[in-house]
Amino acid sequence: MDGFPTITADAIPWLTTSQMVEVDRAMIEDYRIDLTRMMENAGRALALVASRRLLDPSPVGARVLVVAGPGGNGGGALVAARRLHGWGVDVDVVITAARERFAEVPGRQLEIVERLALDVRRETDIADLEEPDLVLDGVIGYSLHGAPRDAAALAIAAMGRIDAPVVSLDVPSGVDTASGVVHDPAVRATATVTLALPKQGLRARGAAAYVGDLYLADIGVPPELYRRSLGIDVGPVFAAGDVLRVG
């Protein structure tokens, strides 16, 4: 259907949120694989799934709304915005925080998008935008603590009123990757592109309806890292491709 190889859910480890935090730390501090590289890989995977799965047979001329928070999840979504723009997609970008509140690396991705002269607005403008063919959700990742609030909550609620499929990056915004609790509001995704290894909360009872079809994206984590930092063996999961469909 979308050309991505399939891997069965029981063929791979599922990580806790604390384990994923350790993976990110070890990537940067122990292996010197910086956040920009991981973000580029994540955003490319998100753009690929969006293009092949929901903008087929060609993304050219399609309209995509990218909603990005100020953290790493939003940075990945902004990379996807840039990639889709390069593939001929009409991209609207909505950010859920003022530019000065963006972390350093996501802020750099926002600057690139602005230099491309893409339309960048705030969450209060979502209802004024032309109806998209697809929405990319990069509001909140695994750092969620409690129900989304303020601008993030407004953006998530506004996405829920759009009659278009949604692809979430790593986790649908509003779903807790630790517990699987679905907060109010939460994004009900058509598909979710999770990173490195899937998170346990994504298969919790009640979460599946919000996750949609699950894809797994390679962000370049060395197998040695899992063994040394987490004590788990992870084989060559991505030998068949750097984006997999989890079946």
Q: What CATH number does the domain containing 212 carry? A: 3.40.50.10260
Which three-class secondary structure state does DSSP give residue 7? Answer: strand
Q: Is residue 61 part of a domain?
A: yes
Q: Is residue 221 part of a domain?
A: yes
CB 19 within 8 A of CB 200: no
Q: Is residue 35 part of a domain?
A: yes
CB 174 within 8 A of CB 185: yes
Q: Total structural domains in the chain? A: 1
What residues make up the domain containing 128? 6-246
Using alpha carbons, select from 84, 91, 78 the residue that is nearest to residue 36.
78
Q: Is residue 156 part of a domain?
A: yes
Q: Is residue 218 part of a domain?
A: yes
Exposure string of 35-53, with b = 16+ CB inside 10 Å and e = fewer, is: beebbbbbbbbbbbbbbbb
User: Quick check: pTM over 0.95?
Assistant: yes
Q: Is residue 113 part of a domain?
A: yes
CB 222 within 8 A of CB 31: yes
Q: Taking the CA atoms of the chain, what radius of gyration do you get in angstroms?
A: 17
Quote the tokens at residue 173: 């915004």
CA 91/CA 159 separation, integer angstroms: 15
Which three-class secondary structure state does DSSP give residue 66? Answer: strand
Which three-class secondary structure state does DSSP give residue 88? Answer: coil
Residue 2: the pLDDT is 87
Q: Is residue 109 part of a domain?
A: yes
CB 105 within 8 A of CB 43: no
CB 201 within 8 A of CB 171: yes
pLDDT in 10s for each residue of the chain, 247 residues: 689 999 999 999 999 999 999 999 999 999 999 999 999 999 999 999 999 999 978 999 999 999 999 999 999 999 999 999 999 999 999 999 999 999 999 999 999 999 999 999 999 999 999 999 999 999 999 988 899 999 999 999 999 999 999 999 999 999 999 999 999 999 999 999 999 999 999 999 999 999 999 999 999 999 999 999 999 999 999 999 999 999 9
CA 182/CA 173 separation, integer angstroms: 9
Q: Is residue 1 part of a domain?
A: no
